[in-house]
Amino acid sequence: MTASSLQGRTLLLVLIAATVGFAAILWPFNGAVFWGVVLAILFTPLHRRLLARMPRWPNLAAFLTLCLCLLVVILPTALIGASMVQEASVAYNRLRSGQLNFGEYVQQVLDALPPWAVSLLQRFHLTSMSEVQERLTSLGAQASKVLATKALDMGQNTLQFIVSLGVMLYLLFFLLRDGTALVQRIRDAIPMDDGHKRQLGEKFTTVIRATVKGNIVVAAVQGALGGLIFWVLDIQGPVMWGVLMAFLSLLPAVGASLIWGPVAIYFFATGAVWQASILTAFGLGVIGLVDNLLRPLLVGKDTKMPDYVVLISTLGGMALFGLMGFVIGPVIAALFMAVWDLFAPPRRGAG
């Protein structure tokens, strides 16, 4: 082994060790760092416009961009989150006091089942209605307790939230101000052809912007519409249910229906036909239409990925990384396809 090759391997090991160590230091704030990078990518075009008008004041341009980000994204999210925590606390207290009894709701549905449904339950050896009630009641109670507990934890961990928010805003300011130079240094350090680096970089930023903007717009619209119809129908906790529908709408096709669907079934089973009809029509014709129209336009069109790839990568990303996965999953899928395109032989007659 020559001295130069030994030196190169040693330098590579030092680089890997330093990178792993730096990642370990940042890991306690992985959410803050991740969303700081995502927001920097989203708001960089706006920052460039402001910087073009005040080229001599880069700090002021970054600060103004940060303030707009606070007003447009962070403040509304915090207000909605606070309302959700409050409604979840009320629901949890009603559950503990017995005012919210899932057994009664389940029994009403079971009593309204037609004979063919009862026969179907018998085929699955669920002949005892009390057994069905017990299972569904237990499932509903556990889900509600987990949801309420998580919401209460979010409200109680105020100090941790404030620290993470401060880290994210601090990082966001410097990423906006120095992001262009930082990206250029990273590009220069990557041992790859300039054209390939540019192609992968553009794909990376395009997918993040399309995924975040598209999914958040769809989630916000579906959550707002779902909360509105729940409020019109006088269903308790419309903000909490609206936020849940917004979160679940990150799952293409099925999302929000996991919330309003069971409520519509309950209305039908208990004889509230007009409420059930309105909720079903609104869910299918309005909330569902938002997903079918906006998501392909805002996500699939810009990412240039098939809908099934977006769906699978979103589900897989959220399973591995939690909420951050709805961004990480499609980004990894897009980079996977882009890298393979680089290695694929050019098509004959292309161009």
The answer to whether the CB of 122 falls within 8 A of the CB of 56 is: no
- pLDDT class of 129 with cuts at 50, 70, 90: very low
Q: What is the reported pLDDT for 174?
A: 92
Is residue 3 a part of any domain in this protein? no
Residue 159 lies in a domain: yes
Note whether 239 and 228 are within 8 A (CB).
Answer: no
Residue 335 lies in a domain: yes
Tell whether 176 and 247 lie within a shared domain: no
Residue 161 domain-assigned (yes or no) = yes
pLDDT of residue 272 exceeding 70: yes
Same domain, 320 and 239: yes
Q: How far apart are alpha carbons 263 and 245 in whole angstroms?
A: 13
Q: Is residue 227 part of a domain?
A: yes
Does the residue 1 lie in any domain? no
Domain shared by 113 and 213, yes or no: no
User: Does 156 share its domain with 233?
Assistant: no
pLDDT band at 350 (very low <50, low <70, confident <90, very high): very low
Q: Do 133 and 108 share a domain, yes or no?
A: yes
Please say which residue of 183, 208, 231 terminates a domain: 183
Give the 3-state secondary structure of 121-181: HHHCCCCCHHHHHHHHHHHHHHHHHHHHHHHHHHHHCHHHHHHHHHHHHHHHHHHHHHHHH
- Secondary structure of residue 249 in the 3-state scheme: coil
Say if residue 110 is in the same domain as residue 64. Answer: yes
- 130 and 159 share one domain: yes
Residue pLDDT, tens place only, 278-322: 988 988 888 888 777 777 666 666 666 777 777 788 888 888 888
Residues 305 and 339 in one domain: yes
Same domain (yes/no): 261, 178: no
- The number of folded domains in the chain is 2
Quick one: pLDDT at residue 173? 92
Confidence (pLDDT) at 73? 84
User: Are both 126 and 261 inside the same structural domain?
Assistant: no
The last residue of a domain, from among 159, 183, 207: 183
| Residue 267 near residue 229 (C-beta atoms within 8 A) | no
Of 164, 183, 202, which residue constitutes the final position of a domain? 183
Question: If pLDDT is split at 50, 70 and 90, which confidence band does 213 have?
Answer: confident
Interatomic CA distance for residues 197 and 191, integer angstroms: 9
Contacts of 258 by beta carbon, 8 Å cutoff, 6+ apart = 248
When pLDDT is cut at 50, 70 and 90, the band that residue 147 belongs to is: low
208 and 176 together in one domain:
no
Confidence label for 110 from pLDDT (cuts 50, 70 and 90): low
269 and 131 housed in the same domain: no
60 Cβ neighbours under 8 A, 6+ residues apart: 54
Residue 38: give the domain boundaries.
28-183
In a domain, 211, yes or no: yes
Whole-number mean pLDDT of the chain?
76
DSSP 253-321: TTTTHHHHHHHHHHHHHTT-HHHHHHHHHHIIIIIHHHHHHHHIIIIIHHHT--HHHHHHHHHHHHHHH
pTM value? 0.69
